[in-house]
């Protein structure tokens, strides 16, 4: 709406159509003509050893975080059997130790409905084993080769 109002007051002859394209897709990649998706809104944490952890805020952000942002060898976490954020541990050619994995699982438990509970079961797998079923709602994913870790919800 702001761009449209600016267009009404413009004197340089820029057309309304150009402003609408600019308004709808400001991140257009001119090389291949495709539009870049908006980055996911998420919480970001840094763990010992320089590992970064990202937790999605909404179902749509969880989809983008899990299916587009995560690299195949990153770790994916979600609290088992309850609503919560998808959490990604970016590894970037490093191998996380058991404590780092437990800290990331604790972040996943914290960003869920089980935050007030005691010990919480958190599912973990590599991001390459996370897929979206055809026609599924936002935030719904399918897992292969998962394992479960029990942790207390906490932030680093």
**Beta strands across the sheet bearing 75-79:** 42-46, 52-56, 87-90, 75-79, 120-126, 147-151
Specify the pLDDT at position 35. 62
pLDDT of residue 6: 37
Residues of the chain scoring pLDDT < 50: 1-26, 29-30
Residue 123's H or E segment, with its range, is strand 120-126
Query: What's the pLDDT at 150?
Result: 95
Q: What is the pLDDT of residue 3?
A: 36
Beta carbons within 8 Å of 57's beta carbon, 6+ residues apart: 41, 42, 43, 85
Q: 3-class SS at 131?
A: strand
Residues 6+ apart with CB under 8 A from 111: 43, 55, 84, 85, 87
What pLDDT shows up at residue 7? 38
pTM over 0.75: no
> How do the residues of the chain divide into helix, strand and coil, expressed in percent and rounded to 5?
30, 25, 45
Query: CB count, 10 Å around CB of 151?
Result: 21
Residue whose structure tokens are 């800290």: 103
Neighbours of 136 (CB within 10 A): 12
pLDDT of residue 11: 44
């Amino acid at each position: 709406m702001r761009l449209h109002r600016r267009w009404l007051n413009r004197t340089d002859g820029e057309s309304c159509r150009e402003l609408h394209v600019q308004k709808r897709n400001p991140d257009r990649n001119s090389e291949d003509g495709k539009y870049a998706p908006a980055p996911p809104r998420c919480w970001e944490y840094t763990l010992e050893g320089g590992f970064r952890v990202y937790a999605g805020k909404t179902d749509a952000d969880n989809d983008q975080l899990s299916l587009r942002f995560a690299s195949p060898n990153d770790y994916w976490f979600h609290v088992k059997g309850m609503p919560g954020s998808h959490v990604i541990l970016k590894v970037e050619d490093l191998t996380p130790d058991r404590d780092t994995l437990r800290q990331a699982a604790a972040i996943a438990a914290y960003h869920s409905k089980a935050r007030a509970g005691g010990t919480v079961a958190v599912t973990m797998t590599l991001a390459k084993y996370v897929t979206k079923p055809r026609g599924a709602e936002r935030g719904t994913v399918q897992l292969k080769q998962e394992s479960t870790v029990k942790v207390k919800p906490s932030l680093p």
